[in-house]
Amino acid sequence: MLLNRANQSGLSTQSLMLFLYGLYREKANAYKETAQSFHKKDSMNIILKEDSEILESQAEDLHSNSSSMSSRKEISMMLVGFYKERATTFRSLKRQLRRDSAAVFMVEKHAEILDDVSALINV
Amino acid sequence: MTSGSGNDLLPVLVQTITSQMFDEANTISQLLHASFHSNKATSTTCFDFLAGRALSELVALICDQASKLAAASENSSNHHNHRHHTYDRTGRGHHNSDGINSIKHLVGKLVDIYYNRERVLKTHANLLLEKKHREVGCVLGQMAALYYTQAREMSENIKAILLLKQSSSSSRNGIDASVYDAKTLKGFVRYLAGLYQFRAQFFKRSANELFKSENDSIGTIMSLYGALLVDHSGELISLADTGMSERLTDPSVMQSSASETARGISGKYFPPMLEGMVNSAISAKGSKSVAISPPLNSYDDVEEKHETESFSDEAEVPQELAKTGAQDRMTTRVRARDDVSNLAMRYAGANKEEANALHKQLGILNSEDDESLKNGYTIMLKVVEYQGMFKLRFSFCYFISSVFLISVKDRCC
């Protein structure tokens, strides 16, 4: 019975997407809580807050699409988009952080890392 | 630590239960894998394939149930915090009807979960009894009956609590029966812990029965499964007492060094006692095994083994299968069903790459420049590492259950 159910790829991919949704939410919450431990004007507060917001909205997208996506390619494309979106967000943070050269350096590098990771997922 | 009181406690409880369910699935699948391979290596006893199939299906079911509970939990969390977006960025609407906003909803979910487990276990118990695997069949049948009883009991119990609540609250101000307070919820958490403990005792008794009838492999799994449930029960009691869940991730917990974090996560999601036993069973099998509970830094090795060996599992298929040509069919189907496992593995790899790159950047960053930047990025790095490992476990869990389901189906059906 379950074997037949499990063989339907839709069910498995849905589970995977819900699992990823949980992880994205968890990451967003962890970043949000960590951001609160820094001063409001601290660069790290800005970075973490921004990243947690984008992760939260991506988690919502994962959830809303969990029942409609059935192929691994579709999921991968979605995740690639997510990584690229985060990379763009990090680059856009440079303006806000311009007074903190170390933070600018880190967000630039982080954006590059996210681009590299998106290339790894995109097969 | 994640804390909760009153209405905040419910999401914490649901997240804890979800995490425990993933823990259960991981533990059973890894024990199955270890048991399967250690028996093949020593050839002293014949691994019970039918029982293995039953437990594999249970693993797959628990994974699905945990994923769905996680989704429902997040829905309710959004609802409580009033942070829920009605529409996402693409303009699609969300339906929040499946969230868990009260004890009643949670109990409804748990009752469904238990009934579904009962159905799966009962089917397999009957199959085992038909094939004259009396001892294991009886144990699975009793497990099914236990789930059924606990589901019914929980359902009845919550009805009584809510009726009581309704009568007291409606007499005051007509509050809906689904409204609950921290005291009621804590009482329910303790009750749930009691159910876990009862189940653990049953598993231990069953294990003894199985050892007596020389079903050592399944007996060991049942015994360790029981030990895991005792741990889970303890966590729930602690949650009821303190309102805090040690299990759930908190950045402040992650402030320790990377190695401590690795050990902490390992301990959190897979008790060290089980880990030791599984690892020793695996090492008995030799170099062909897939690594169990890999340390965070050894992802590359694990991926390599998985990529190169998972689909070349032909060597591990019983020889009779090879003779009948069923092996090819099995391999094809394992490939087909293993897509999700591979995908999760790839994502885990991506996390690992991200963590490696972040680690490198952190090394470049001069700590004198900005201490808070370094601290913040260290936490980000640990979250990424932890999630990568969790994805790896998910992928491993799916992989193992698929190998069992397919190979056993070919052999027995």
pLDDT of B151 reads 86
Closest residue in B to A18 (Cα) is B67
Average pLDDT, whole number, for chain A? 82
Q: Rg (Cα) of chain A, in Å, rounded?
A: 17
Tell me the chain B residues in contact with residue A14 when contact means C-beta distances shorter than 8 Å: 67
Q: Touching check for B394 and chain A: CB below 8 Å?
A: yes
Question: Is B350 in Cβ contact with A117 (below 8 Å)?
Answer: yes
Best to test chain B binding among A7, A8, A23, A72 (most B CBs inside 10 Å): A23
Q: Residue B245 carries which DSSP code?
A: E
Q: Rg (Cα) of chain B, in Å, rounded?
A: 23
Tell me the chain A residues in contact with residue B253 when contact means C-beta distances shorter than 8 Å: none
d(CA B283, nearest CA chain A) in Å: 30
Q: Which of B83, B252, B337 sits opposite A6 (nearest CB)?
A: B337
Best to test chain B binding among A54, A113, A116 (most B CBs inside 10 Å): A113
CA dihedral (A31, A34, A39, A45) in degrees, to 10, reads -20
pLDDT exceeds cutoff 50 at B350:
yes
For residue A101, count CB atoms less than 10 angstroms from its CB and return exposed for 0-12, middle for 13-18, buried for 19 or more: exposed
Interface of B with A in 226-255 (CB under 8 A): 249-252
Long-range contacts of A46-53 (CB under 8 A, 24+ apart): A46/A93, A46/A96, A46/A97, A47/A90, A47/A93, A47/A97, A47/A103, A47/A106, A47/A107, A47/B376, A48/B376, A48/B380, A50/A89, A50/A93, A51/A86, A51/A89, A51/A90, A51/B380, A52/A27, A52/A28, A53/A28
Tell me the chain B residues in contact with residue A116 when contact means C-beta distances shorter than 8 Å: 353, 357
Is the ipTM higher than 0.95? The answer is no
Q: Cβ distance B37 to B289 under 8 Å?
A: yes
Better pLDDT: B141 or B78? B141
Tell me the chain B residues in contact with residue A20 when contact means C-beta distances shorter than 8 Å: 347
Q: Which of A16, A25, A101 sits opposite B74 (nearest CB)?
A: A25
Each residue's pLDDT tens digit, A72-83: 788 888 999 999
Highest mean pLDDT of the ranges A113-122, B53-62, B74-83, B336-345: A113-122
* Buried-exposed string B299-337: b where 16+ CB fall within 10 A, e elsewhere: beebbebbeeebeebeeebeeebeeeebbeebbebbeeb
Q: Touching check for A84 and chain B: CB below 8 Å?
A: no
Better pLDDT: B212 or A15? B212
Q: Which of B63, B83, B358 sits opposite A113 (nearest CB)?
A: B358
**How far apart are alpha carbons A64 and A97 in whole angstroms?**
33
Q: State the count of interchain CB pairs (< 8 A) between A and B.
A: 161
pLDDT of B10 reads 81
How many angstroms separate the most distant Cα atoms in chain B? 75
pLDDT exceeds cutoff 50 at B287:
no
Q: Cβ distance B29 to B400 under 8 Å?
A: yes
Tell me the chain B residues in contact with residue A100 when contact means C-beta distances shorter than 8 Å: 370, 373
pLDDT exceeds cutoff 80 at B369:
no
**How far apart are alpha carbons B133 and B153 in whole angstroms?**
30
pLDDT exceeds cutoff 80 at A112:
yes
Each residue's pLDDT tens digit, B100-125: 777 778 888 888 899 888 888 888 88
For residue B96, count CB atoms less than 10 angstroms from its CB and return exposed for 0-12, middle for 13-18, buried for 19 or more: middle
Average pLDDT, whole number, for chain B? 65
pLDDT of B327 reads 44
d(CA A12, nearest CA chain B) in Å: 6
Question: Is A2 in Cβ contact with B70 (below 8 Å)?
Answer: no
Tokens coding B26: 């991981």
Q: Cβ distance B23 to B17 under 8 Å?
A: no
Each residue's pLDDT tens digit, B147-174: 888 888 888 777 766 665 555 555 444 4
Tell me the chain A residues in contact with residue B342 when contact means C-beta distances shorter than 8 Å: 72
pLDDT of B146 reads 87
Q: Touching check for A119 and chain B: CB below 8 Å?
A: no
H-run or E-run covering B218: helix B216-242
pLDDT exceeds cutoff 80 at B376:
yes
**How far apart are alpha carbons B280 and B37 in whole angstroms?**
11
pLDDT exceeds cutoff 70 at B269:
no
**How far apart are alpha carbons B36 and B52 in whole angstroms?**
8
A45-54, A79-88, B169-178, B394-403: lowest mean pLDDT where? B169-178
Helix axes B371-412, B258-269, angle to 10 degrees: 40
Tokens coding B176: 């809906």
Q: Touching check for B358 and chain A: CB below 8 Å?
A: yes
Residue among B29, B34, B37, B26 nearest B313 (CA):
B37
Question: Is B361 in Cβ contact with A110 (below 8 Å)?
Answer: yes
pLDDT exceeds cutoff 70 at B37:
no
Residues 6+ apart with CB under 8 A from B333: B406
Better pLDDT: B154 or B99? B154
pLDDT of B46 reads 47
Interface of A with B in 17-46 (CB under 8 A): 18-23, 25-27, 30-31, 33-34, 37-39, 42-44
Closest residue in A to B19 (Cα) is A22
CA distances from B125 to A6, A121, B306 (A): 20, 42, 32
Best to test chain B binding among A8, A16, A80, A101 (most B CBs inside 10 Å): A16
